[in-house]
Amino acid sequence: MSNDQTNTLDARLRTAIDKSVSNPVMFFFTTGALWLVVSILLGVLASLKSHWPTFFEAFGELSTGRAYVAHLNVLIYGWCFPAAFGAIIWFMSRLCRKESKHAGIIVAAGLVWNFGVVIGLLGVMLGKSTGVPWMEFPNQCWVIFLFAYILIAIWSFVQFRVREGGHVYISQWYILAALFLFPWIFCSAHIFTFVFDGHPVMTAAVASWFKSSIVNLFFIPVAAASVYYIAPKVTGRPVHSYSLALLGFWTLIILGAWGGIQKLTGAPLPAFMPYVSAAAGVLFFIPALTIGYNILMTTKSHHDLAKKSPSLRFTVASVIALIGMGVAGVFLNLPSVMRGTQFSLSGYGYEILALYGVFSMSMFAAIYYIVPRVTKREWLAPSFIRTHFNLSAYGVIAVVMGSILGGYLQGAAVEAIDQPFSDAKATAYMISIFNSIAWVIILISNLAFLFHILLMAVRLGRHSKHATLIEEHHGSSPHGADGKVNNY
Amino acid sequence: MDPQRDTPLKRFGAFWIGLFIVVSFGVAALFLSPSFKADMEDPALQSQYEARLAIKADVDAAQAEQFEFKKNGNKAQVAPEQAFAYTAKQLLTAQPKKTGTVVPGSPTDLKNNSGN
């Protein structure tokens, strides 16, 4: 078979794969974007109420405690998980070179998942939250989520088992790990917290472990899968070092399950537990730096491309945030620092760095790469993409730096027992105002993103053979220099 | 495309292997659960619980007694929610009583101080 014939067959296979996963992928990305905006709105509200308590005071459902809880849980279960599902489905289908034969079941399961998020959100707003961090949705929701997850994720494993023979890609390692580690973490945490009649202190330890593990063993692997796919694809270069990729993968998987319990330093737990977790938190720097260095070296001589390509730009931002997360992990887990920051806003800053800075940025990169391929349209407006990137980057840097550094100052003020407590209160007050402004900026960026992806979902994108680049001018036609091209 | 790799039987098997791996975590947790049950039968703690519960019962009874209706000669003790309306009405109809307090800067204060 000649090269041209091989290329044609390959292109047809890719088109068939994209068509088969188009509905579930667009469903998850679009509903995820919608929940992201809802979550950020709740985040703005929670942040405003922390320094302006009388804002909307007539509505008890919108009190700080409920709005903050709803903000975090909707961010995780409404945006992060659906975005991960959409990316996993597309990456696995493409890498295994298999069409999806169960798009209908996946979409139905996605509807069930969204139903769970609605029930959870209403439950939290009406005061029925469980009070366990990151598991605050009412008790019944986790069963709905587990059931929906099985029906969404199992087909990706089936595709992997029947994949065409040959190399297993780095992205596939991470996706497979995430696919099976998630039910382990989710089942363990929920069963030991809500089903078994265990000791309450153990429940607190399990909840802390859940928060850390779900980030390190699901969200970071999916983010890594995305960056390891997009960076080589866009630059046209292979990954810089296969050995580093192996090192990054195994250190993440081994260290990822040990963290979280450092939040309970001083609790009536065996003394080694929080300090082992803190050590794992410090050592997280190894996989973070490994993955970050590998990807940055892969894109080293393509700075121009990183400026123009939305996917590559978001990918680079995500890996820089991952390296930052490793550095923050070292700083925040030192015993001398942990003493002050344990009950401050630093923890929130670290969570937002992980969920938005690392994971969400990598998902935006995946979405900007995948959506044109499944919808057969190019992104409509480079200005929307620029707005989305710039405001997201500035906003998340502001929230993270403000919360982590401000939280450190807040903790130091609390620890200074010879100074009035009002000093710590004043520091926290300033951080809250700063965070409110930053969240408003992030809200604007994601409203632009939501609008843009909704236009793509209804197939109002550009008909063009050329990808939408950030620094691009369409010329006389909105579809580009070639005019309107039928991509069917 | 290798037809040997992608067969309905292989897909069927992969589905059940995947389902088993996912469900096995929950099953393993069920088997491990007896070792994680909190030990509430510690005899040393049990005697302390009983003493504390007895004290709590005494305190609860004493407090509940304060809310019961009791008549003592001309006076009656009623539950707080019954007294609020009556007390509020009394306060609204009560006239301010004259006291010996002089507000600084008032005409009385100035008149008193002008003689000094």
**pLDDT at position A450 over 70:** yes
Q: How confident is the model at residue A83, as a pLDDT?
A: 97
Q: How confident is the model at residue B3, as a pLDDT?
A: 58
**pLDDT at position A341 over 60:** yes
Q: What value does the mean pLDDT take over residues A377-393?
A: 92
Q: How confident is the model at residue A488, as a pLDDT?
A: 47
Residue A191: list chain B partners with CB under 8 A: 26, 29-30, 33
ipTM of the modeled complex: 0.80
- A250: tokens are 């195994």
Q: How confident is the model at residue B5, as a pLDDT?
A: 73
3-state secondary structure of A98: coil
Q: How confident is the model at residue A111, as a pLDDT?
A: 97
Q: How many CA atoms lie within 13 A of B95 on its CB side?
A: 2
DSSP A460: -
Q: What value does the mean pLDDT take over residues A70-75?
A: 95
**pLDDT at position B26 over 90:** no
- A329: tokens are 């992990």
Q: Is residue A318 part of a domain?
A: yes
pLDDT of A210-257, one tens digit each? 999 999 999 999 999 999 999 999 999 999 999 999 999 999 999 999
Judge whether A52 is closer than 8 Å to chain B, CB to CB. no
Q: What value does the mean pLDDT take over residues A337-356?
A: 90
Amino acid at A342: Q
H-helix or E-strand spanning residue B77: strand B75-77
Q: Which among B23, B19, B34, B37 has a CA at the least distance from the CA of A187?
A: B23
Q: Which among A301, A307, A354, A306 has a CA at the least distance from the CA of A329?
A: A354
Q: What value does the mean pLDDT take over residues A172-190?
A: 93
Judge whether A197 is closer than 8 Å to chain B, CB to CB. yes
Q: Are A130 and A79 in contact (CB under 8 A)?
A: no
Q: Is A202 exposed, middle or buried (0-12, 13-18, 19+ CB in 10 A)?
A: middle
Residue B18: list chain A partners with CB under 8 A: 154, 157-158
Q: Is residue A202 part of a domain?
A: yes
Q: How confident is the model at residue A85, as a pLDDT?
A: 97
Q: Which of A397-411, A418-432, B32-46 has the lowest average pLDDT? A: B32-46
pLDDT of A10-21, one tens digit each? 889 999 999 999
User: In the block, which residue shows the tokens 């900026």?
Assistant: A441
**pLDDT at position A321 over 50:** yes
**pLDDT at position B38 over 80:** no
Residue A421's pLDDT band (cuts 50, 70, 90)? confident
Question: What whole-number percentage of chain A has pLDDT above 90?
Answer: 67
Q: How confident is the model at residue B58, as a pLDDT?
A: 93
Q: How confident is the model at residue B46, as a pLDDT?
A: 77
Residue A165: list chain B partners with CB under 8 A: 2, 5
Domain of residue A341, residue span: 12-457
Q: Which of A93-107, A149-163, A385-399, B100-114 has the lowest average pLDDT? A: B100-114
Q: What value does the mean pLDDT take over residues A69-97?
A: 96
Residues 6+ apart with CB under 8 A from A328: A349, A350, A353, A400, A404
What span, in angstroms and rounded, lies between the C-alpha atoms of A114 and A136?
A: 16
What span, in angstroms and rounded, lies between the C-alpha atoms of A141 and A139?
A: 6
Q: Which among A297, A315, A309, A331 has a CA at the least distance from the CA of A400?
A: A331
Q: Is residue A6 part of a domain?
A: no
DSSP string, A248-284: HHHHHHHHHTT-SGGGGTTSSS-THHHHHHHHHHHHT
Residue A65's pLDDT band (cuts 50, 70, 90)? confident
Q: What is chain A's mean pLDDT, rounded? A: 90
Q: How confident is the model at residue A479, as a pLDDT?
A: 56
The verdict on a CB contact (< 8 Å) between A184 and B25 is yes
Q: Which among A367, A279, A359 has a CA at the least distance from the CA of A325?
A: A359
Judge whether B31 is closer than 8 Å to chain A, CB to CB. no
Q: How confident is the model at residue A329, as a pLDDT?
A: 93
3-state secondary structure of A125: helix
- CA A388 vs. chain centroid, Å, equals 16
Alpha helices in A299-334 (DSSP H): 303-308, 310-332
Q: Are A392 and A447 in contact (CB under 8 A)?
A: no
Q: How confident is the model at residue B83, as a pLDDT?
A: 83
H-helix or E-strand spanning residue A484: none
Q: Are A217 and A185 in contact (CB under 8 A)?
A: yes
Find the Cα–Cα–Cα–Cα dihedral A464, A468, A472, A475, rounded to 10°: 20
Q: Return the number of CB contacts < 8 Å for A and B.
A: 61
Residue B116's pLDDT band (cuts 50, 70, 90)? low
- The number of distinct structural domains making up chain A is 1
Q: Which of A347-361, A450-464, B71-85 has the lowest average pLDDT? A: B71-85
DSSP string, A339-401: HHHTTSTHHHHHHHIIIIIIIIHHHHHHHHHHHHHHHT-B-S-HHHHHHHHHHHHHHHHHHHH
Q: What value does the mean pLDDT take over residues B20-47?
A: 75
Q: For residue A281, what is the domain's CATH number?
A: 1.20.210.10
What span, in angstroms and rounded, lies between the C-alpha atoms of A242 and A328?
A: 26
Residue A50's pLDDT band (cuts 50, 70, 90)? confident
Q: Give B38 to chain A, closest Cα distance, Å.
A: 5
Q: Give B25 to chain A, closest Cα distance, Å.
A: 6
Residue B14: list chain A partners with CB under 8 A: 157-158, 160-162
For A100, name the nearest residue in chain B, comparing CA atoms only: B11
| Residue A466 vs residues A371, A476, A483: alpha-carbon distances, Å | 14, 15, 11
Residue A476's pLDDT band (cuts 50, 70, 90)? low
Judge whether B36 is closer than 8 Å to chain A, CB to CB. yes
Residue A160: list chain B partners with CB under 8 A: 14
Q: What value does the mean pLDDT take over residues A476-486?
A: 54
- A306: tokens are 């990183």
User: In the block, which residue shows the tokens 């995780």?
Assistant: A76
Q: Are A228 and A177 in contact (CB under 8 A)?
A: no
Residues in chain A: 488
Q: Which of A74-78, A304-308, A322-326, B52-56 has the lowest average pLDDT? A: A304-308
H-helix or E-strand spanning residue B76: strand B75-77
Residue A209 or residue A431, greater confidence: A209
Judge whether A1 is closer than 8 Å to chain B, CB to CB. no
Q: Is residue A434 part of a domain?
A: yes
**pLDDT at position A130 over 80:** yes
Q: How confident is the model at residue A250, as a pLDDT?
A: 96
What span, in angstroms and rounded, lies between the C-alpha atoms of A83 and A368?
A: 12
Residue B37: φ, ψ to 5° = -70, 140
Residue A483's pLDDT band (cuts 50, 70, 90)? low
Q: Which among A351, A356, A284, A330 has a CA at the least distance from the CA of A79?
A: A356
Q: What value does the mean pLDDT take over residues A379-407?
A: 92
The verdict on a CB contact (< 8 Å) between B11 and A98 is no
